[in-house]
A and B are shown apart, each in its own frame.
Chain A
Amino acid sequence: MARSTSKDAQALFNSLRSAYAATPTSLKIIDLYVGFAVFTALIQVVYMAIVGSFPFNSFLSGVLSCVGTAVLAVCLRIQVNKENKEFKDLPPERAFADFVLCNLVLHLVIMNFLG
């Protein structure tokens, strides 16, 4: 039972890796950025757990800025992905411009809330 599970896990892992290698490089860059943002958020949470949550607004704005940029990057990835039928009319420049605008608003709010 355990061996079949581990063999399944191995097979799964390999198929995932091969499928992911097929994605275009631009999307992989976005994925890397998302991963980096989430990683930064995790570091901040661990730091807060060690040091304490005062001042709370700074902690909130730091974590939410990481989560926010991750979410916006995922939205960008959705809109730029050529396999997505819903967005084939959307020029990638427009998608990127929306991404930049939303990030601007997000970071303006973050700067205000950072305290």
Chain B
Amino acid sequence: MADPENAKEATTLRYAFGNVLSFHSSLDRSSRFLDPSFLCLLIDFQVIKYESVIHEFDPYFNYRVTQFLTKNGIYDFWNWFDDRTWYPLGRVIGGTVYPGLTLTAGTIWWILNSLNIPLSVETVCVFTAPIFSAFASWATYLLTKEVKGAGAGLTAAALLAMVPSYISRSVAGSYDNEAVAIFALIFTFYLYIKTLNTGSLFYATLNALAYFYMVCSWGGYTFIINLIPMHVLLCIVTGRYSSRLYIAYAPLVVLGTLLAALVPVVGFNAVMTSEHFASFLVFIIIHVVAFVYYIKGILSPKMFKVAVTLVVSVGLVVCCAVMAILIALVASSPTKGWSGRSLSLLDPTYASKYIPIIASVSEHQPPTWPSYFMDINVLAFLVPAGIIACFLPLSDASSFVVLYIVTSVYFSGVMVRLMLVLAPAACVMSGIALSESFSVFTRSIKFQLHGLSGSSQVDSGDASSSTVVAQNDAGKAEKTEDTAKERPSKKSKKKEKGIVDKPSLKAKIERRLLVLPFEASIFAILLLVLLGAFYVVHCVWAAAEAYSAPSIVLTSYSHDGGLHVFDDFREAYAWLSHNTEVDDKVASWWDYGYQTTAMANRTVIVDNNTWNNTHIATVGTAMSSPEKAAWEIFNSLDVKYVLVVFGGLVGYPSDDINKFLWMVRIGGGVFPHIKEPDYLRDGQYRIDSQATPTMLNCLMYKLSYYRFVETDGRGFDRVRQTEIGKKNFKLTHFEEVFTTHHWMVRIYKLKPPRNRIRGKTKKPRSKKAQQLEQKEVQLLRGIRGIRPMKLENAKCTVMLILHLPRLWLHFEQELNSEFARMNNRCLLILR
């Protein structure tokens, strides 16, 4: 136990020194930009602590898709219809998955294998994310270099190399879309800024291609296609229109829309959904503005005024007509053309009111305030300083970065998952702030040193402690005197510009030197380095402790210091794959769908894609119903096994009982006989003796707590911290087939239906069937009177003959329902 601690401390110190070195390099403006990328790769604790394993849930689906791609080739991948999920509906993988990640990993695997480096697909998948995080760091360097200069670029890249928010989604094993998408995002922004700065059509083409890669990778591409038009509009409105702006924007819209339409997931949504309308609107606006500027250039001012009045009067009428048509079109759709997820971003309360599935995902909840500090740490208060630095002076590029940070802060406040989009913006801003402040301090040190060694410049240096206030923040000028003496690193960075008057040296008049006292500058630089060290320590800690858990394997430390590993999930999936038939269907809550298909290789009913709310509601209803009703539902879906996750024995808090209320809500949203208040006692969710009878009789309760009393005699649930309500009960329609070592995953089998149903059945009987039944009963009574043993054969044949019409009726019914099911399936496929 002591050794790992020491090792961790040693590595922390090493990282701190490494970061200090890179800061020094930014001072010297050397292009050691490989350093930050290397830093990214170093922070890879997950593979060291556990084995090389894929994390979470979504990566398992991506891994399975990549396996299919590498095995069957790209044509089969584009046309793949997966019948092992969403039974009996299936899923069109080719048309519903964002192919960027799988194609990237597949290409890397193919290249390596053709070079005879035999890496397995799993290894390539696990290590795709760290490689692309190194690329993302490089892209951040390029982006910030375009905005402010190489020094800021290096700092920003070093910050991004370690920021916990990005690390959480790019650890080795987190094989999810964001791994490549964030790199594509930053790279697209870099190319856009580069085009804006140079006006070169070549970079505009590259920009469109990078945007295409982003569309392939992630649904968050709508952020780009809305942010860039917003920025163009901002530039036009603030009078910064230039022909470079036109070259940067117009080809991107045309090429970008076409390329987006090429990706099957997006398809015609690229021109039909409201998420893209902003780009078209600004496309029209920029053409109008360009035309106006052109006319202004070739006409005399008087004539131009005439033209304006003429055009305005006529154009206004036409414009109003077009807008009216457009508004009518958009208003005719109930969601105004926006998708559910985008609407929930714009109106954070939308999902909780209308779409409980989106509201139930934990990643879609708003973040708490401490999570900002956890995820971007020191950057949280360096960002405002960076925003100020961007305004001095304001250029097109810096206005873009300011807009980027403002919008990403808003969206990260709506959904905790979007903290990931905030991270690069925060790193860019903080990089700018740190670099500017470093250059201020070092310049003043240089000046002071130069003044001490020289002779005539000393007087003017000391005298001009009169500070000229920074252009923007007159209000904050009072503080500048104090901050020079106090710790400037902990407060916002203020910049002072003192213009030194040296009548003898004219060159120096133009240069703006800073006049901070020598000791204060040294102290400030030391404090900034200390700040960087704190940041590094926090990031390393966060990466090692909080974000390295693969969540498919859990660990805990026992009281004697040993490591205890909970590998129950993989145990359960291995049992499923070894002990069930290949075509058996497994029902569980949608969280485990991807893992079940990937690891256990069995057909599931619902999975994490959550595209069909009704299907999920069916499973939720089954989990909330009593045993017999649940059995009926599952039997109608051909389910053989039901899988339940239970954490009560070991204290695992994300088990199905804790998620149960969401099952009730989602099920109740579609099937009104499931009402949430039935499961709550006085508004409280309980499973102890005070729980409602509906709760104690539902399938989820029974499957979770079956035989739980046998573990400790009183059935104490460690997660809910109570004893369970119903302790000794038997299951009538299910039988337990497997429970893992720590009782975390429990698998049950549906009992087959009984051959003879005694007494009344609930099925509607036709009159003919009823008559047959009566005849059969009479015959049996008659036969029983004689000699049952000897007349066994006769009874059988007689019963068979009598039952034949009923069998035929039943067969016909079955055929009809089968046809109906096939019809539904065909309709869904065609749609």
Chain A interface (Cβ < 8 Å from any Cβ of B): 5, 8-9, 11-12, 15-16, 19-20, 22-23, 56-57, 60-61, 64, 67-68, 71-72, 74-76, 78-79, 83-84, 86-87, 90, 95, 98-99, 101-102, 105-106, 109-110, 112-113
Task: Give the contacting residue for A78; candidates B202, B243, B257, B295; CB below 8 A.
Answer: B243
Residues of A within 8 A of B309 (CB): 8
Task: Give the contacting residue for B299; candidates A15, A75, A86, A90; CB below 8 A.
Answer: A15
A20 to B259, CA, bound (A): 36
| B484 within 8 Å of A (CB atoms) | no
**Cross-chain contact B306 with A11 (CB below 8 angstroms):** yes
| B415 within 8 Å of A (CB atoms) | no
Task: Give the contacting residue for B201; candidates A5, A67, A102, A112; CB below 8 A.
Answer: A102
A-B contact pairs, 18 of them (CB 8 A): A8-B309, A11-B303, A12-B307, A16-B295, A19-B299, A60-B261, A67-B254, A68-B258, A72-B251, A86-B242, A86-B244, A87-B243, A98-B202, A102-B205, A102-B255, A106-B255, A109-B258, A113-B258
**Cross-chain contact A105 with B209 (CB below 8 angstroms):** yes
What's the nearest-Cβ distance from chain B to residue A109, in Å?
Answer: 5
Residues of A within 8 A of B204 (CB): 75, 102
Task: Give the contacting residue for B251; candidates A12, A71, A79, A86; CB below 8 A.
Answer: A71
Q: Lowest 6 CB-CB distances: which A-B pairs, in order?
A: A98-B201, A19-B298, A68-B254, A78-B243, A71-B250, A102-B205
**Cross-chain contact B246 with A74 (CB below 8 angstroms):** yes
Residues of B within 8 A of A19 (CB): 298-299
A102-B261 contact given A9-B310, A72-B201, A86-B244, CB 8 Å threshold: no
**Cross-chain contact A56 with B202 (CB below 8 angstroms):** no
Q: B201, B254, B257, B298: which has the most chain A beta carbons within 10 Å?
A: B201
**Cross-chain contact B250 with A86 (CB below 8 angstroms):** no
**Cross-chain contact A95 with B258 (CB below 8 angstroms):** no
A110 to B262, CA, bound (A): 9
Residues of A within 8 A of B149 (CB): none
Task: Give the contacting residue for B199; candidates A15, A86, A110; CB below 8 A.
Answer: A86
Residues of B within 8 A of A11 (CB): 303, 306
Closest to A5 in B: B310
What's the nearest-Cβ distance from chain A to residue B396, in Å?
Answer: 12
Residues of B within 8 A of A106 (CB): 254-255, 258
A110 to B244, CA, bound (A): 25
| B409 within 8 Å of A (CB atoms) | no
Residues of A within 8 A of B354 (CB): none
**Cross-chain contact B201 with A56 (CB below 8 angstroms):** no
Q: B261, B268, B290: which has the most chain A beta carbons within 10 Å?
A: B261
Chain A-chain B contacts (Cβ-Cβ < 8 Å), number: 101
What's the nearest-Cβ distance from chain A to residue B267, in Å?
Answer: 8
**Cross-chain contact B303 with A15 (CB below 8 angstroms):** yes
What's the nearest-Cβ distance from chain A to residue B84, in Å?
Answer: 30
Residues of B within 8 A of A74 (CB): 246, 250, 290
A60-B251 contact given A15-B299, A102-B204, CB 8 Å threshold: no
Interface band, chain B: 35 or more
A57 to B262, CA, bound (A): 9
| B380 within 8 Å of A (CB atoms) | no
Closest to A83 in B: B297
Closest to A67 in B: B254
Task: Give the contacting residue for B254; candidates A8, A22, A64, A101; CB below 8 A.
Answer: A64
Interface residues as binary, B237-261 with A (CB distance below 8 Å gives 1, 0 otherwise): 0000011101100110011011101
Residues of B within 8 A of A60 (CB): 258, 261, 268, 271
Closest to B267 in A: A57
Task: Give the contacting residue for B255; candidates A16, A79, A95, A105; CB below 8 A.
Answer: A105
**Cross-chain contact B254 with A86 (CB below 8 angstroms):** no
A11 to B306, CA, bound (A): 9
Residues of B within 8 A of A61 (CB): 258
**Cross-chain contact A112 with B251 (CB below 8 angstroms):** no
Closest to B202 in A: A98
What's the nearest-Cβ distance from chain B to residue A33, in Å?
Answer: 16
Residues of B within 8 A of A76 (CB): 201
**Cross-chain contact B258 with A110 (CB below 8 angstroms):** yes
| B200 within 8 Å of A (CB atoms) | yes
| B300 within 8 Å of A (CB atoms) | yes
A113-B205 contact given A68-B254, A86-B242, CB 8 Å threshold: no
Interface residues as binary, B257-277 with A (CB distance below 8 Å gives 1, 0 otherwise): 111011000001001000000
Interface residues as binary, B69-104 with A (CB distance below 8 Å gives 1, 0 otherwise): 000000000000000000000000000000000000
| B208 within 8 Å of A (CB atoms) | yes
Residues of A within 8 A of B243 (CB): 78, 84, 86-87
A60 to B242, CA, bound (A): 29
**Cross-chain contact A64 with B257 (CB below 8 angstroms):** yes
Q: B254, B257, B268: which has the most chain A beta carbons within 10 Å?
A: B254
What's the nearest-Cβ distance from chain B to residue A61, in Å?
Answer: 7
**Cross-chain contact B298 with A105 (CB below 8 angstroms):** no
Which residues of B184-199 are within 8 A (CB) of A? 199
Which residues of B284-310 are within 8 A (CB) of A? 290, 295, 297-300, 303, 306-307, 309-310
Closest to B250 in A: A71
What's the nearest-Cβ distance from chain B to residue A58, in Å?
Answer: 12
**Cross-chain contact A71 with B244 (CB below 8 angstroms):** no
Known A19-B298, A60-B261, A67-B254; further 13 A-B contacts with Cβ < 8 A? A12-B307, A16-B307, A20-B298, A56-B268, A64-B254, A64-B257, A68-B254, A72-B201, A74-B246, A74-B290, A75-B250, A76-B201, A98-B205
What's the nearest-Cβ distance from chain B to residue A39, in Å?
Answer: 16
Residues of B within 8 A of A20 (CB): 298
A81 to B262, CA, bound (A): 34
What's the nearest-Cβ distance from chain A to residue B271, in Å?
Answer: 6
**Cross-chain contact B255 with A109 (CB below 8 angstroms):** yes
A87 to B258, CA, bound (A): 28
A16-B298 contact given A101-B202, A101-B205, CB 8 Å threshold: yes
Residues of A within 8 A of B208 (CB): 105
Residues of B within 8 A of A99 (CB): 201
Residues of B within 8 A of A71 (CB): 250-251, 254
Residues of A within 8 A of B299 (CB): 15-16, 19
A84 to B297, CA, bound (A): 11
**Cross-chain contact A75 with B251 (CB below 8 angstroms):** yes
A86 to B199, CA, bound (A): 9
Closest to A65 in B: B258
**Cross-chain contact A105 with B205 (CB below 8 angstroms):** yes
What's the nearest-Cβ distance from chain A to residue B256, in Å?
Answer: 10
Residues of A within 8 A of B255 (CB): 68, 102, 105-106, 109
